[in-house]
Structure 1
Amino acid sequence: MFEKVVPVNRERHAKTRIREMKGFGFAAKFHIAYVTMHEFSRAAAVYPIVFVEDQEKDSFRPVALIGLEAGENLFVGADGKWEASYVPAIIRRYPFALAATGSEGQFTICIDEGSPLVSDTEGSPLFDDKGEPTQVIENVKRYLAELQQMDQLTQQFCTWLKANNMFTPLNMRVRDHDKVKNIAGCYVVNEERLNNLSDERFLELRGKRFLPAIYAQLMSLAQVERLISLKDRRVAEAAKAVAE
């Protein structure tokens, strides 16, 4: 999704403008999208939510499955429109991102200069004639700060689940048109271990307000059927186009 990410700089980006986002073609080849635990309730109504392991950091991150195979986003149509009621925040923040500065708790706003949304002639400017940040920068700063806070709480959520041995590998066999496909390499909350938690641990879980996210994740797995239906539709449309 990102091609050339650099920190926003008033000299370098004095003439930089941001075009209005009219489509999501930039995300057409991504089959997963990171989601924070605060998004689970809305995302679970559309996407299966699973956890992927970052072995280098020895941690887990929740993602929404938006495709059955790498390189295919089943929710971006040929016209670039997102064909679902909820778009993950990480997609909506494009072409901006946050990067750690090296100082603890400090981040800087970055922009993808390779994005088709970035222009020197069209759209809303990042800086005014005096070199001061415009409302675009202020809005992005506020939005990314909120996402960063949600990300920190999501990391705490995943750390608790890992520390309490709540993750279990997902091994699911699904029909992919005329074949059977294995969904593996990701994790889900182990429902049996959840039900067998001690009263002390369960009350701790409730006190941290993690329970809604856990239940949303478990219920979201039913959305795998939605992915299969979307895949079948794509295959049928491609076959029809070839026949014509």
Structure 2
Amino acid sequence: MSNHQILNPADHAELRVHTRTGSEFGDKVMACLAVPNEFRRLATDYPILFHYDRERSSFSALALMGFEKGENLFLDGDDWLAPAKPMALAIQPFLIGRSRDGGAQAQVHIDLDHPRIARGGDGVRVFDDAGRPTPYLEQVMSMLAELDEGHRASAAFFAALDRYELLEPFALDVPREGGGEHRLVGYQLINEDRLRALEPGAISELHAAGHLLPLFMALASLGNLGKLARRRASRNDG
């Protein structure tokens, strides 16, 4: 369940948010939405994969953090084992909303039923005593703006991947603790051979549109699949 409201100092003057890491705060997830303008930051640690939603006929990109539902191999108690979180996870419990009439003006919303909402005196304040955004909220608002911009630009990026047939489905078998294997399916990744075979004109078009850098970052991130599998094996052995 969720309880989204437009964030404002009149209604949320005393609101506090847990900023710590932990499964109790919603961090125990195997994958998180990612947008192309953050691929460069994420590619150092996370495999970046793609998913096609048949019902919506649309692609999305995901930073992979585990191989099964509820598994996050970057979460170790209250420690996050990477320099950065994907923005869609880092901004919770906040999100971008827009007016019901379809207006372009973005609004900061908050999910008051999210586990990061603090009760009592714990947590970080969202507004100060004068009703102004705290430095914490200002940082969140900056990430929300970057995430919104990336989401709006991603449609053209995914259209280019589709136009040049640069994605291919893949499957990965990962050993399970206690024996057996789990097969990771339902995702796609960049086809390096097709990318290499693109004509110079296509490469120039992708570069001019700003798609080439996130493409190469997503491709480079695939080396993290092996690292993630080894991280899982190390935990299972321990």
Mean Cα displacement is larger for which, 157-166 or 173-182?
A: 173-182
After TM superposition, the score normalised by the length of structure 2 is 0.85
- 8 Å Cα contact 2:52/2:187 also seen in 1: yes
Structural mapping, 1:163-242, within 5 Å? 163-177=163-177, 178-237=179-238
Conserved 8 A contact 2:157-2:211: yes
Question: In the alignment, is residue 101 of structure 1 matched against residue 99 of structure 2?
Answer: yes
5+ residue gaps, structure 1, are 238-244
* Deviation for aligned residue 1:225: 1.5
Task: Decide whether aligned partners of structure 1 residues 36 and 109 sit closer, same or farther in structure 2, where only a CA change above 3 A counts.
Answer: same
Q: TM-score, normalised by structure 1?
A: 0.83
Check conservation: 1:176, 1:228, Cα contact below 8 A. no
CA contact (8 A) 2:3 2:112 kept: yes
The CA deviation at 1:129 is: 5.0
How far residue 127 of structure 1 moved from its aligned partner, in angstroms, is 3.9
CA distance in 1, matches of 2:176, 2:213: 31
Instruction: Determine the C-alpha separation between the residues in 1 that align with 2:44 and 2:137.
Output: 32
Deviation for aligned residue 1:52: 0.9
Q: Which amino acid aligns with 1:233?
A: S
Matched, 1:92 2:90: yes
Aligned equivalent of 1:242: none
After the TM superposition, which of the residue ranges 185-194 and 4-13 deviates more from structure 2? Answer: 4-13
What SS does structure 1 have at the residue aligned with 2:184? strand
Partner of 1:147: 147
Tell me by how many angstroms 1:6 deviates.
2.6
> Secondary structure in 2 aligned to 1:71?
coil
Report the counterpart of residue 16 of structure 1 in structure 2.
15
- Larger deviation, residues 164-173 vs 125-134: 125-134
How many corresponding residue pairs? 234
Q: 1:228 to 1:130 in 2, by over 3 A?
A: closer
CA displacement, residues 89-113 of structure 1 (integer Å, 9 cap, x when unaligned): 1221122111232324232211122
Give the drift of 1:131: 4.9
Aligned equivalents of 1:235 and 1:145: distance in 2?
39
Q: Secondary structure at the match of 1:121?
A: coil
**176 and 101 in structure 1: CA distance in 2 versus 1, 3 angstrom threshold:** same
Structure 1 position 167, deviation (Å): 1.8
**Alignment partner, residue 6 of structure 1:** 5
Aligned residue for 1:37?
Answer: 36
Aligned to 1:83: 81
Contact kept in structure 2, 1:45 and 1:220, CA below 8 Å:
yes
Q: CA deviation at 1:130?
A: 5.7
Report the secondary structure of 1:209's partner residue. coil
Identify unmatched segments of 5+ residues in structure 2.
none
Q: In structure 1, what residue type is equivalent to 2:168?
A: T
**Residue 83 of structure 2 aligns to a residue in which SS?**
coil
